[in-house]
Amino acid sequence: MARGDEAAYGLVYAQLAGHVIGIARSVLRDPAQAEEVAQEVLLEVWRDAARYDPHRGTAKAWVMTLAHRRAVDRVRSEQAAADREQRAAKLEVSYDVVAETVAARLDAEQVRRCLGSLTDLQQESITLAYYRGFTYRQVAALLKVPVGTVKTRMRDGLIRLRDCLGVD
Amino acid sequence: MRRFRVRGTDPHTLAGAYALDALGASDRARFERHLSGCPACAQEARGLQEATARLSDTLATQPPEGMRERVMAAAARTRQNPPAARPARAGSAGWPGRRWGIALACGVLAVAVVVGGLAFHMQQQLNQDQSRSRAIAAVLNAPDAAMMTVAASRTRGSGTIVMSHQAHALVFTAARLPSLPSSERYELWLMGSSGPRAAGMLPAPRAGMTAPVIVSGLRSGDEFAVSAEPASGSRHPSSPMIMKVTLPS
C-alpha cells in the first residue's frame, strides 16, 4: 500500500466527505442508508481515482456527480421506491446546512443566491431533481406541468445557474 | 450525422435532466450514447455537471462520527484500479513526480483542476516525494486530524488546513490567491505567545492553486497566517496578513 496515495486520499476525504454525505442524506432521507451510500462512493473514489480525467472536468464535479448518481440509483431501487411513496407528499426542501467554515458558507450562499435568481419553475424542477432525486417525469407529475416543459426548464435553469456561478 | 431521439424528443433538451440525474436508466443510457457522438453536447453536459456539482455546497455537513476511520480502513483493504486505457499524453501530466493520488487531492482541494498526471512510470520520482508524503500522511492519519477552510481577506482566495496537534504539524494548500510579482512569494506563519515564527514559503501556484505544503513545529495556541513577502522569505512578517486563523487547541 502506497502511503502517499493514502495521504492524498485523506485530503480528498477531508475536503469532500461532507458534501458526499450531504448529497446522500438529501436524496435518501435516511441516515443509515445515506452513510452506506456515502461510504460506497468514497471507496469508489479511492478505487477509481486513477481514472479521473482532469480534462473532463474538476475533481469536485467528478466526485459529486458520482455521489449524486449513486444516491439516485439507490433511491430508485425497488425497496427504496416503496418507502419513498409515503414521503413524496412532503416536498419542502430545507437547506439544513452545517457549514463550519466561512469559505464553505460563502460558497453555499452564492449557490442559494444564484438558485434564487431562477424562475420558480426552473428552481422547483432543479431542486426536486437534485435534492430529492426525482426523475424529470416525476417532477412533471409533482408540479403538474408537461414533461417537455420540465426538461426545458431544467436545462435553461442550469445554464443560468452555471453562468451565475461562473463555472464552465 | 447520426440522428437520435429519446422517445421522440430532441436529445439536446435532455442535457439538464441528464446533469441532474433526472433521466431514468434507459433514457440515461441512450443520452450517453448520444453524447459520445456529439462533442458539443458533451461539452454542454460537462458545464451543466459542474454547475450541478455546486448545488452540493448547500448540503455539505459534518460526516458521521467514525466514518473517516471506516472509509480509510476500507480503502487500505481495497485494490485500486489502473487508469483507463488511453494513449499517454506526453507533457499533460502537469505535476511531474507527483503520484496520481496527490494530483487528485490537489485538484479536489483547489476545486479547479488543471492537471491529472497519474501514471505508473512516475515510480522513479517517488523517492523525493516520499518524505513529504509521509509527513502529510502523519497529519492526515492522525486521530486528531481536523480540517478547516480559511478565506483570504478582500479576495476570493481560500486556504485549506488539515492539522494535527499529535503530529505537531499542519498541511496547507491555497487556491485563487492574488498573484504576486515574481519578486514576492506568500510566506506562512505560526504565531504563538512569543510572536510569529516563519513556517515556510508557499510554492508558486499553478493555474491559481498551490500544492499542499507541510508546516511542522505546530504548538498549542498557535495562530496560522499568510502574508506576501520577498521571494527569499522574511524572518518577520513585513506586510499585512492576507489570511489568519486561530487554530483549535
Band of pLDDT at residue B133, cut at 50, 70 and 90 = low
Band of pLDDT at residue A155, cut at 50, 70 and 90 = very high
What's the pLDDT at B205?
67
Does the CB of A78 have a partner CB in chain B at under 8 Å? no
The mean of the pLDDT values for chain A is: 82
Give how far the C-alpha of residue B88 lies from the chain's centroid of Cα atoms, to the nearest Å: 23
Q: What is the pLDDT of residues B42-89, one digit of tens each?
A: 999 999 999 999 999 999 888 888 898 899 889 888 887 776 654 444
| Average pLDDT over every residue of B1-16 | 66
Q: Which residues of B touch A14 (CB under 8 A)?
A: 140, 145, 147, 160, 162
Query: Cβ–Cβ of A39/B140 closer than 8 Å?
Result: no
Residues A17, B59 contacting (CB under 8 angstroms):
no
Enumerate the H helices of chain B as residue ranges.
Answer: 15-19, 25-36, 39-55, 67-77, 100-110, 126-140
Q: Which of B50, B54, B58 sits opposite A57 (nearest CB)?
A: B50
Query: Cβ–Cβ of A10/B109 closer than 8 Å?
Result: no
Query: Cβ–Cβ of A102/B150 closer than 8 Å?
Result: yes
Q: Which of B79, B108, B122, B163 has the most A C-beta neighbours within 10 Å, making it the best mutation to test the interface with A?
A: B108
Which has more pLDDT, B22 or B179?
A: B22
Residues A12, A45 contacting (CB under 8 angstroms):
yes
User: A80 CA to chain B: closest CA distance, Å?
Assistant: 15
Does the CB of B65 have a partner CB in chain A at under 8 Å? no
Q: Which residues of B touch A104 (CB under 8 A)?
A: 57, 60, 149
Q: How many CB contacts within 8 angstroms connect chain A with chain B?
A: 313
Q: Which of A57, A72, A108 sits opposite B57 (nearest CB)?
A: A108
Taking the model in full, what pTM does it have?
A: 0.63
Band of pLDDT at residue A8, cut at 50, 70 and 90 = low
What's the pLDDT at B172?
87
**What is the C-alpha to C-alpha distance for residues A114 and A124, in angstroms, rounded to an integer?**
13
Residues, chain A: 168
Does the CB of B76 have a partner CB in chain A at under 8 Å? yes
Residues B206, B172 contacting (CB under 8 angstroms):
no
Which has more pLDDT, A37 or B104?
A: A37
Q: What is the pLDDT of residues B196-205, one digit of tens each?
A: 999 999 887 6
Does the CB of A80 have a partner CB in chain B at under 8 Å? no
The grid coordinates of residue B130 equal 516520499
Residue % of chain A over a pLDDT of 70: 76
DSSP class of B206: B
Structural element, H or E, at residue A136: helix A136-143
- Grid-cell match 479536489, residue found: B108
